[in-house]
C-alpha cells in the first residue's frame, strides 16, 4: 500500500490541467445554454414573486417610494439644478439605471453561492448564473419603467427624439455591470466577507453617483476624471440628456466612461475564469 | 459535452492520469491563510498545504458498460464522480466525456427547494440541455416512476428525503442521458423503490446508456454491474471483472478489521483451522471442516456461533451450537457436509456467548478458506442477491 503512495507524490507538470481563456468558445457555450439562462431567470422571478402577497407590484412600488423620499429630502434641503425638468422625473431617470446596476451586481455576486446546490452536481457553464440574475433585474427594470410613463403623463411631457441614443448608453452600462458581476460572483465564493464590503460600496455609490443630483454639481475640470472612475455618472447623465433634454450624450464624458467599462468587463471575465475552476472545491 | 470528446461515441468516458488535491487546512479561506501560503511556498514548497484526494487515476469506459465504483469512505469516489460530471476540475490529467451526463450525486441533485417538483423537472431538463417539449414528452413517465402525482405541484422543501430522492432519480434516469452516474443515494428509498431503481438502471443499460454506480451495498453493485473499480485512499487498487474486484475489496475490509480488532475474550480461541477435513481446500458442494481449540477457565453453559462470510461482518450463513464448556482446553470440530459456496475466499467468524448473551468470545474473523469449484452462477441483471442459505452440520466434541 505505502509503496504505491511513495513513488508517486505529485503529477508530472506537463499533465497539469489548464484553463485556457477562449472568449469565442465561452460565448458559444453560453449561447447554447440560453434556454437554461431563461429557465433560471424564470425560476428566480417566480420564486421571488410567488410567495409575496403583492407580487409584481413590488417592482414598481420600491422605486416609486425611493423617488418620493428623494423628492422630499433633496428637493427641499439641497438645491439641485435640474434645468426646466421636474425633479421627480429627473431623479427617476437616474434611479432606474442605478437600481438596475446595483441590484444586478449584488444579486449576481450571490448567484453562485445561491445556486451552489446545482453547480455542485450538474455541469453547465457557470456564467449562466450571474447572467441569469442580471436578466432578472432587467425584467424588474422594464416593469419599473412603467412608472416613468406615468410620470411623463403627470407632468405633461414626453421623451425626446434623442432617446434613440439610449441603446449606446445601455451597452456601456451593461459592460460595467457584467464585468463587476462576473468578478464578484466568483470572488465572493472564496471570501464571503466581500459581500458585505460590496453592499457598503453600493450604498455609498448611490450618493457618490449623480442619481439624486446632477453632474453639473461636479466642478467642470473634474468631470472627465470623475466619469472615468465612475462610468455610471456619465451613463446616467447621458440618459437625462437624451431622454429628458433632447441633447445627444456628452461624448467627452461618455468615451472615458466606456473605456473604463471595457477594462472592467475584460478584467471581470479574466477573474471569473481564473477563480471559477476551484468553485466546486470550496462552495 | 467537453470539447476534448469530439469524435468519441456518445457514452464514452476517457480519463487519464487524473489528480485532484484539496486544501489540507479546514479553516475558512481568509486573507491571512493565503498570505501564509504564499510565504511557505516561497520558502519550502507548498506540499503541506494540500492533501491528495485522487492520484493518477485512469478510467476508460465504453458506451453501454455498467461499472461499479467501490471503496471505503473518503477514498475519493464522489470526487472522481464529480470530476467525471465536469462539476469539479481535476488538478492534473486529461479528461474526455462524450454525450449527455445525467448525475444523481447526493440526494438533492439539481433540485431547487423553493420550486415545485414540476418546475424542478423542467429546470433539471434544461440543465441537461433538453427543451421544454422534450421534457414534457417524458413528464408522465417521470411522475409515474416517482409516484409523486399528488405532490408534484408542492414545493420541494416540503418533500421528505425519500420523496426528494425519488424525484432526483426519476428525473436523472428518464431524461435519456448517454451516461448515468449514480452516487450512493438509493439507500434512502424503501425496498420496493430500490428494486424499481435497479430495474430502471437495467432498462437504461439495455438502451445503451453507460452506467457508473457508486455504492456501499456490494450486493447491489454486483447485481447491476459487470465491471468494478476499487478506490482506496485516492488510488485505483482494482479494475476488472466484478467478482474479482469485489473479492479484492472484501479482502481489504477483512485486513483492516483484523488490524483494528483487539480481542479481549473470557474464553480465548487458541486455534482455528478450516479445510476439507484432509488438510486440503474445500470444494463447492463438498465437505468443510472447522476445527477450533478453546480454553475455558471454568465449566459453564455456552452458545457457540460459527459464521461464514465473504469478508465483511455480514455472514452468508451462521451455525449455532449449544454446549457446555469444561474447564481446560477443548477441541471442537464442526463438519458441514455440502458446502453451498462458489469459488472464492471466505472467512470464518466465531463468537461465544453465555446463557444471558454476555460475550465470552466476541464475534470476530478467526480464519479463512479458499473454495475450489465453479464461479458463482450469474443471477439476472438487477437482481440483488442476499444469499440466504440453509446449512445443516454434524458436530464432534473432544476433551484434550
Closest Cα of chain B to A46: distance in Å?
A: 9
Smallest CA–CA distance from B105 into chain A, residue: A121
- Are B213 and B70 in contact by the 8 Å Cβ rule? The answer is no
Same domain for B171 and B246, yes or no, is: yes
* CA A106/CA B22 separation, integer angstroms: 29
Is B110's CB within 8 Å of A117's CB? Answer: yes
Is B17's CB within 8 Å of A11's CB? Answer: yes
Which of B275, B257, B263 shows the shortest CA–CA distance to B352? B263
**Scanning the structure block, which residue is given the C-alpha cell 415545485?**
B116
Question: A77-106: per-residue pLDDT in tens?
Answer: 666 777 788 888 998 999 999 999 999 999
* CA B319/CA B335 separation, integer angstroms: 11
A206 touches chain B (CB under 8 A): no
Angle CA B184–B189–B195, to nearest 5:
90
| Higher pLDDT, residue A202 or B376 | A202
Strand order through the sheet with B300-309: B315-325, B300-309, B344-353, B359-371
Same domain for B375 and B333, yes or no, is: yes
- Are A118 and A30 in contact by the 8 Å Cβ rule? The answer is no
Quote the pTM value. Answer: 0.78
Q: In the prediction, which pLDDT does A96 show?
A: 92
Same domain for B204 and B269, yes or no, is: no
A24 touches chain B (CB under 8 A): no
Smallest CA–CA distance from A8 into chain B, residue: B55
Question: In CATH, what number is assigned to the domain containing residue B54?
Answer: 3.40.50.300
Question: In CATH, what number is assigned to the domain containing residue B309?
Answer: 2.70.50.60
Same domain for B20 and B80, yes or no, is: yes
Closest Cα of chain A to B191: distance in Å?
A: 25
Is A35's CB within 8 Å of B127's CB? Answer: no
Smallest CA–CA distance from B48 into chain A, residue: A9
Q: In the prediction, which pLDDT does B34 show?
A: 66
Give backbone dihedrals phi and psi of B321, rounded to 5 degrees, phi first.
-135, 120
Smallest CA–CA distance from B93 into chain A, residue: A15
* CA B368/CA B286 separation, integer angstroms: 16
Give the residue from A36, A37, A121 with the most B CB atoms within 10 Å of its CB, the best one to mutate: A121
> Which residues on chain B are in Cβ contact (under 8 Å) with A190?
29
Which of A17, A25, A124 is nearest residue B127 as measured by Cβ atoms? A124
Q: In the prediction, which pLDDT does B37 show?
A: 67
**Scanning the structure block, which residue is given the C-alpha cell 489548464?**
A18
Walk along chain B (400 residues) and give the pLDDT tens digit of each residue: 455 666 788 889 999 989 988 876 655 556 666 677 677 667 666 666 778 889 999 999 999 999 999 998 888 898 899 899 888 888 888 888 888 888 777 655 556 777 788 888 888 888 877 888 888 999 999 999 888 888 888 888 888 888 888 888 888 888 888 998 888 777 677 888 888 888 888 888 888 999 999 988 888 888 889 899 999 989 999 999 988 898 888 888 877 877 766 677 888 888 899 998 888 899 888 899 999 999 888 888 999 999 998 867 678 888 999 988 888 888 999 999 888 888 888 889 999 998 888 889 988 888 889 988 877 777 777 677 666 565 667 788 877 7
**B300 pairs with which residues across the strands?**
B325
> Which residues on chain B are in Cβ contact (under 8 Å) with A32?
129
Same domain for B302 and B337, yes or no, is: yes
Please give the tally of structural domains in chain B.
2
> Which residues on chain B are in Cβ contact (under 8 Å) with A16?
91-92
End-to-end CA distance of chain B: 71
Give backbone dihedrals phi and psi of B17, rounded to 5 degrees, phi first.
50, 50
> Which residues on chain B are in Cβ contact (under 8 Å) with A120?
82, 87, 105
Same domain for B313 and B239, yes or no, is: no
Q: In the prediction, which pLDDT does B2 show?
A: 56
Is B124's CB within 8 Å of A122's CB? Answer: yes
- Are B294 and B352 in contact by the 8 Å Cβ rule? The answer is yes
ipTM confidence? 0.75
At A2, is the secondary structure helix, strand, or coil?
helix
* CA B20/CA B57 separation, integer angstroms: 9
Q: Where are the domains of chain A?
A: 21-282
Q: Which of B232, B255, B278 is the last residue of a domain?
A: B255
Q: In the prediction, which pLDDT does A55 show?
A: 66
Q: In the prediction, which pLDDT does B23 show?
A: 76
**B315 pairs with which residues across the strands?**
B309
Q: In the prediction, which pLDDT does A23 show?
A: 86
| Higher pLDDT, residue B37 or A253 | A253
- Are A33 and A125 in contact by the 8 Å Cβ rule? The answer is yes
Q: Which of B255, B280, B297 is the last residue of a domain?
A: B255
Average pLDDT of every residue of chain A: 86
Is B17's CB within 8 Å of A117's CB? Answer: no
**Scanning the structure block, which residue is given the C-alpha cell 485486513?**
B255
> Which residues on chain B are in Cβ contact (under 8 Å) with A7?
none
Question: A209-248: per-residue pLDDT in tens?
Answer: 998 888 888 888 899 999 999 999 999 999 999 999 989 9
Q: Which of B255, B285, B314 is the last residue of a domain?
A: B255
Same domain for B243 and B113, yes or no, is: yes
Same domain for B192 and B276, yes or no, is: no
Mean pLDDT of A252-280: 92
Same domain for B269 and B250, yes or no, is: no
> Which residues on chain A are in Cβ contact (under 8 Å) with B55?
5, 8
Which of B110, B115, B235 is nearest residue A121 as measured by Cβ atoms? B110
Same domain for B217 and B100, yes or no, is: yes
Closest Cα of chain B to A41: distance in Å?
A: 11
Domain range enclosing B389: 263-399
A15 touches chain B (CB under 8 A): yes
Which of B227, B249, B226 shows the shortest CA–CA distance to B237? B249
Q: In the prediction, which pLDDT does A170 show?
A: 96
Smallest CA–CA distance from A35 into chain B, residue: B126
Closest Cα of chain B to A38: distance in Å?
A: 9
pLDDT classification of A1: cutoffs 50, 70, 90: very low
The answer on pLDDT for A3 being more than 50 is no
Residues 87-106 (B) with a CB less than 8 A from some CB of A: 87-95, 101, 103, 105-106
Amino acid at each position: 500500500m505505502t509503496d504505491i503512495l511513495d513513488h508517486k507524490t505529485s503529477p508530472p507538470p506537463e499533465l497539469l490541467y489548464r484553463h485556457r481563456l477562449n472568449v469565442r468558445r465561452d460565448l458559444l457555450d453560453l449561447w447554447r445554454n440560453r434556454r437554461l439562462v431563461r429557465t433560471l431567470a424564470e425560476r428566480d422571478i417566480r420564486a421571488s414573486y410567488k410567495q409575496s402577497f403583492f407580487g409584481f407590484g413590488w417592482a414598481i412600488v420600491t422605486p416609486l417610494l425611493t423617488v418620493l423620499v428623494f423628492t422630499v429630502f433633496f428637493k427641499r434641503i439641497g438645491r439641485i439644478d435640474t434645468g426646466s425638468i421636474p425633479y421627480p422625473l429627473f431623479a427617476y431617470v437616474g434611479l432606474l439605471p442605478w437600481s438596475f446596476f446595483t441590484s444586478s451586481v449584488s444579486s449576481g455576486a450571490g448567484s453562485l453561492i445561491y445556486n451552489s446546490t446545482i453547480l455542485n452536481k450538474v455541469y453547465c457553464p457557470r456564467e449562466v448564473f450571474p447572467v441569469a440574475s442580471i436578466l432578472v433585474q432587467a425584467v424588474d427594470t422594464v416593469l419599473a419603467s412603467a412608472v416613468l410613463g406615468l410620470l411623463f403623463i403627470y407632468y405633461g411631457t414626453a421623451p425626446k427624439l434623442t432617446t434613440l441614443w439610449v441603446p449606446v448608453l445601455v451597452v456601456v452600462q451593461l459592460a460595467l455591470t457584467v464585468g463587476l458581476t462576473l468578478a464578484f460572483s466568483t470572488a465572493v465564493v472564496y471570501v464571503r466577507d466581500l459581500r458585505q464590503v460590496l453592499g457598503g460600496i453600493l450604498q455609498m455609490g448611490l450618493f457618490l453617483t449623480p442619481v439624486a443630483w446632477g453632474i453639473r454639481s461636479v466642478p467642470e475640470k473634474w468631470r472627465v476624471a470623475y466619469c472615468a472612475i465612475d462610468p455610471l455618472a456619465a451613463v446616467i447623465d447621458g440618459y437625462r440628456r437624451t431622454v429628458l433634454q433632447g441633447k445627444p450624450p456628452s461624448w467627452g464624458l461618455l468615451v472615458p466612461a466606456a473605456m473604463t467599462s471595457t477594462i472592467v468587463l475584460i478584467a471581470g471575465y479574466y477573474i471569473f475564469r481564473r477563480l471559477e475552476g476551484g468553485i466546486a472545491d470550496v462552495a | 459535452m467537453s470539447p476534448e470528446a469530439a469524435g468519441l461515441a456518445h457514452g464514452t468516458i476517457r480519463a487519464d492520469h487524473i489528480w485532484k488535491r484539496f486544501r489540507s487546512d479546514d479553516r475558512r479561506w481568509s486573507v491571512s491563510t493565503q498570505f501564509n501560503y504564499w510565504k511557505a511556498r516561497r520558502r519550502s514548497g507548498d506540499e503541506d498545504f494540500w492533501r491528495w484526494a485522487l492520484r493518477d487515476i485512469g478510467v476508460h469506459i465504453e458506451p453501454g458498460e455498467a461499472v461499479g465504483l467501490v471503496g471505503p469512505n473518503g477514498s475519493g469516489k464522489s470526487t472522481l464522480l464529480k470530476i467525471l460530471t465536469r462539476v469539479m476540475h481535476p488538478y492534473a490529467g486529461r479528461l474526455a466525456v462524450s454525450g449527455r451526463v445525467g448525475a444523481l450525486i447526493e440526494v438533492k441533485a439539481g433540485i431547487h427547494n423553493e420550486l415545485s417538483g414540476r418546475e424542478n423537472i423542467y429546470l433539471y431538463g434544461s440543465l441537461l440541455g433538453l427543451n421544454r417539449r422534450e421534457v414534457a414528452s417524458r413528464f408522465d413517465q417521470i411522475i409515474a416512476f416517482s409516484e409523486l402525482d399528488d405532490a408534484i405541484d408542492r414545493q420541494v422543501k416540503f418533500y421528505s428525503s425519500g420523496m426528494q430522492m425519488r424525484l432526483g432519480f426519476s428525473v436523472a434516469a428518464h431524461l435519456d442521458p448517454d451516461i448515468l452516474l449514480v452516487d450512493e443515494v438509493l439507500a434512502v428509498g424503501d425496498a420496493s423503490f430500490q428494486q424499481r431503481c435497479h430495474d430502471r438502471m437495467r432498462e437504461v443499460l439495455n438502451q445503451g446508456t453507460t452506467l457508473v454506480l457508486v455504492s456501499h451495498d456490494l450486493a447491489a453493485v454486483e447485481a447491476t454491474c459487470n465491471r468494478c473499480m476499487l478506490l482506496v485512499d485516492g488510488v485505483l487498487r482494482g479494475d476488472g471483472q466484478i467478482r474479482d474486484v469485489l473479492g479484492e475489496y472484501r479482502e481489504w475490509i477483512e485486513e483492516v478489521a483484523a488490524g483494528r480488532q483487539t480481542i479481549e475474550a473470557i474464553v480465548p480461541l487458541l486455534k482455528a483451522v478450516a479445510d476439507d477435513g484432509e488438510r486440503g481446500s474445500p470444494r463447492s458442494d463438498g465437505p468443510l471442516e472447522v476445527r477450533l481449540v478453546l480454553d475455558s477457565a471454568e465449566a459453564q453453559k455456552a452458545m457457540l456461533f460459527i459464521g461464514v462470510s465473504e469478508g465483511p461482518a455480514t455472514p452468508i450463513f451462521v451455525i449455532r451450537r449449544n454446549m457446555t464448556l469444561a474447564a481446560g482446553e477443548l477441541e471442537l470440530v464442526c463438519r458441514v457436509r455440502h458446502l453451498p459456496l462458489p469459488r472464492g475466499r471466505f472467512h470464518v467468524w466465531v463468537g461465544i456467548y453465555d446463557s444471558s448473551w454476555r460475550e465470552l468470545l466476541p464475534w470476530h474473523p478467526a480464519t479463512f478458506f479458499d473454495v475450489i469449484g465453479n464461479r458463482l452462477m450469474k443471477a439476472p441483471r438487477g437482481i440483488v442477491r442476499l444469499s440466504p442459505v440453509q446449512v445443516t452440520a454434524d458436530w464432534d466434541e473432544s476433551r484434550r
